[in-house]
Copies of this chain bind each other. A is one copy, B any other.
Amino acid sequence: MILTVTLNTALDITYRVPALAPHTSHRVEEVVERPGGKGLNVARVLSALGHESVVTGFAGGPAGALLRRLLAPLPPHDALVPIAGTTRRTIAVVDGSTGDTTQLNEPGPVIAPEEWAALLDRYTALLASARAVALCGSLPPGLHVGAYAELIRRARAAEVPVLLDTSGEPLRRGVAARPDLVKPNAAELAQLTGGRDPLHAAHDARRRGAHAVIASLGPAGLLAVTPEGSWQAAPPAPAAGNPTGAGDSAVAALLAGLVEGLPWPRRLARAVALSTATVLAPAAGEYDRAAYERLLPLVDVSERAGPA
Contacts and interface: CB of A to CB of B under 8 A. Distances in A.
A15 B90 CA distance: 11
Given A22-B95, A65-B62, A28 B105 contact: yes
Interface string A85-119: 00000010101001011111111000000000000
Contact of A66 (B28, B62, B91, B100): B62
Given A31-B106, A105-B27, A107-B28, A100 B62 contact: no
B100 A27 contact: no
Nearest to A138: B27
Contacts of A91: 91, 104
Contact of A23 (B65, B100, B106): B100
Interface residues of A, number: 29
A291 interface: no
A20 interface: yes
Most buried by B among A21, A23, A29, A65: A23
Interface string A243-283: 00000000000000000000000000000000000000000
A63 B62 CA distance: 8
A17 interface: yes
A113 to B, nearest CB: 23
Interface in A36-62: 62
Interface string A1-35: 00000000000000101001111111111010000
A27 B107 contact: yes
Given A22-B95, A91-B91, A17 B62 contact: no
A27 B93 CA distance: 14
Nearest to A98: B23
A140 to B, nearest CB: 13
A98 B62 CA distance: 31
25 contacts: A15-B104, A17-B104, A20-B22, A20-B102, A21-B102, A22-B22, A22-B95, A22-B102, A23-B95, A23-B101, A23-B102, A24-B102, A26-B102, A26-B103, A26-B104, A27-B105, A27-B107, A28-B105, A28-B106, A28-B107, A29-B107, A31-B106, A62-B62, A62-B63, A62-B65
Interface of A: 15, 17, 20-29, 31, 62-63, 65-66, 91, 93, 95, 98, 100-107
